[in-house]
Amino acid sequence: MIKLTLKDGSIKEVESGVSIFDVAKSISGRLAKEAVAGVVNNTTVDLNYILSEDVELSILTINDEAGLDVFRHTSAHVMAMAVQNLFPGTKLAIGPPIENGFYYDFDTEHVFVPEDLEKIEKEMKRLIKEDLIPERFTMPRKEALEFVSDLEADYKVELIKDLPEDAELSFYKHGEFVDLCAGPHLPGLKQIKAFKLLSIAGAYWRGDSERMMLQRIYATSFPKASQLEAYLHRLEEAKKRDHRKLGKELKLFSLMEQGPGFPFFLPKGMIVKNKLLEYWREVHDEAGYVEIETPQILNRELWETSGHWYHYAENMYSLKIDDDDYAIKPMNCPGGMLVYKTELRSYRDFPMRVGELGKVHRHELSGALHGLMRVRAFTQDDAHIFMLPSQIKDEIKEVVRVIDSVYQTFGFKYHVELSTRPEKSIGTDEAWEQAETALQEALEEMDLDYKLNPGDGAFYGPKIDFHLEDCIGRTWQCGTIQLDMQLPERFGLTYIGEDGEKHQPVVIHRVAFGSIERFFGILIEHYAGKFPTWLSPVQVKIITVADRHEDYAVVLKNTLKSYGIRVELDGRQESVGYKIREARLERNPYMLVIGDKEIEKSNVAVRSRDKGELGSMQVEDLVELLLDEIVLRN
């Protein structure tokens, strides 16, 4: 008998030689039906893996993220098989699962067109109906090279050559299809109930623009047709909400070829952006932060001290000034360290909360640029908190409170992820362990659920990331809390302690919005351009029925403006219906129609974007309604 330590910590004794599927079946019929793979001592394996010794065992289902990856990776193999069946001679590159789906890169003389996707889907359905069983086999590197060479799999040959000479390589086969693959895979193809091929794109082999341009097919798959239908609905909704489309229609920002990755904000967009900055300043003033501004360009010595010159150079814009090396800042942190050093600090100054709305520049590949979501210049709502080691937990909790209040204002749900030391990092093991423990304990004391991301921290410290969920279920990484014990040491930061001696402070780096530009883009899509009243560039649109109503409309406009309400007047010689339709497209929160009745009664006919016709209203009551929404940020 062997002992299996299951995910819940319980011990299960089974006979040596049983498969993971047998174990799942012995636990429950439902688990056996939903199981897709297993994890043995932290290694993901197929369900037919034979257990012969005491191990830690987790059984993955579709509901697990890793289980869904197995499901979609198998789907990618089915798609690759279908492509090779339909287009003989096609060479396979790679086909991994990705967030919300999978893709496969192909080298073929045939140029894929959208109509091909339907043909491939039809062939995939035929293959799935056969319920082929993925079979794993292995061979040494030398034999594997000969094997793939016989298959004329050029890309697989290159992948194998990059592996150690003593490597044992695995392949998966179903039917006549064979692919180099670490696995694992589903026990049978019939588990793939619903899938959709989404799009065709070009992709350089291994992301190198000097290499072969391949054809990539993006797709997704789900265990249930209803899940696929819901996902496709979200995709359609996302297209309607695309911030690039709405940004142009609503005249918020412009993307121009003269500055790729450098967005131009238009007057209405600047209103929204400035309101976000105004709100940020209000929140941080209440939370005890002071605001600073640091230079855009600083010399190489600074970036060498911070470590960016060696660890982040490929993302930085550098230049020469008077024969010396300088760089445009990709981060605000080093400048914040210099500000700290302008005075001698005492333990009584702590916690010292310093915020900066700093413009940063980072070199992004042109293919990665995406509207406001991925740009080369953006405003980061940075803050640096200098503190005593004993204040770490309380300050982390306070930062979480501030970030939570910001996200609640915009109606976002979120989840939290804790990222630990990456392979490329600076600092001692002891400092990293202390920092990681402090973040973890703070999260646990706040009873916040979190996901652990080993190795995904910043090069100078571990971090807590906040992932927002928008109104159609997509997630966006925005807020970050990073605990840093490295930069204070590198910059020689000190304070005079209670004992009269010099000590090194601890620093928290944190953002709430992350990038103002990116957050703006997220808001456009979250609200579908229908900003809440307090944030809308135009809060009220006044529409006249005829020219004779304009004098009254102008007085009304000036009255509203005197209360700080953002208002526009449409007095054009167009039909009322036409002007109302245009105002709806602009997504203004309120429309006021002015005609003879309104002038006679000295009131306004009010139409709400969200509630429809509100009827006639006295101007004083309208002002009270608007100011309440603005103050309450509705």
The single-letter DSSP state of residue 589 is S
Helix (H) or strand (E) holding 160: helix 154-161
Selected catalytic residue, list 174, 216, 345, 463: 463
Q: Tell me, yes or no, if 384 is annotated catalytic.
A: yes
Dihedral angle, C-alpha 514, 342, 309, 396, nearest 10 °: -40
Q: Which residues contact 322 (CB under 8 A, 6 or more apart)?
A: none
Q: Which residues contact 308 (CB under 8 A, 6 or more apart)?
A: 316, 327, 330, 331, 334
Q: Tell me, yes or no, if 463 is annotated catalytic.
A: yes
Grouping H, G, I as helix, E, B as strand and the rest as coil, residue 200 is strand
Outline where 422-534 has alpha helix (H).
429-445, 487-490, 516-527
Q: Tell me, yes or no, if 362 is annotated catalytic.
A: yes
b/e sequence 35-57, b meaning 16+ C-beta within 10 Å: bbbbbbeeebbbbbbebeeeeeb
Q: Give me the amino acid identity at 470.
A: D
Q: How many angstroms separate the CA atoms of 27 and 318, rounded? A: 60
Q: Tell me, yes or no, if 380 is annotated catalytic.
A: yes
Instruction: Identify whether 295 is preceded by a cis peptide bond (ω within 30 of 0).
Output: no
Of the candidates 316, 358, 313, 362, which has an alpha carbon nearest to the alpha carbon of residue 339?
A: 358
DSSP string, 259-281: STT-PEEPHHHHHHHHHHHHHHH
Q: Tell me, yes or no, if 509 is annotated catalytic.
A: yes
Q: Tell me, yes or no, if 72 is annotated catalytic.
A: no
Selected catalytic residue, list 84, 380, 482, 539: 380
Q: How many angstroms separate the CA atoms of 584 and 249, rounded? A: 12
Q: Helices 429-445 and 392-409: crossing angle, nearest 10°? A: 50
Q: What is the CA radius of gyration of the chain?
A: 30
Joined tokens for residue 451 = 């996901």
For 33-80, list the strands marked E by DSSP: 35-40, 43-45, 50-51, 55-61
Number of neighbouring beta carbons within 10 Å of residue 534: 17
Q: How many angstroms separate the CA atoms of 72 and 194, rounded? A: 11
Selected catalytic residue, list 384, 541, 566, 579: 384
N-terminal to C-terminal alpha carbon distance within the chain: 64
CA-CA-CA-CA torsion sign (409, 411, 412, 413): positive
Selected catalytic residue, list 174, 185, 308, 362: 362
Residue 227, judged by CB atoms within 10 A of its CB (0-12, 13-18, 19+), counts as: middle
Q: How many angstroms separate the CA atoms of 469 and 479, rounded? A: 12
For 363-494, list the strands marked E by DSSP: 377-387, 413-419, 450-453, 463-469, 475-484
Q: Which residues contact 40 (CB under 8 A, 6 or more apart)?
A: 20, 49, 51, 55, 56, 57
Joined tokens for residue 14 = 């089974």
Q: Tell me, yes or no, if 333 is annotated catalytic.
A: yes
Selected catalytic residue, list 509, 526, 549, 587: 509
Of the candidates 492, 478, 495, 486, which has an alpha carbon nearest to the alpha carbon of residue 352?
A: 495
Of the candidates 195, 152, 143, 191, which has an alpha carbon nearest to the alpha carbon of residue 171?
A: 143
Selected catalytic residue, list 46, 105, 179, 382: 382
Write out the catalytic residue numbers.
Answer: 333, 362, 380, 382, 384, 463, 509
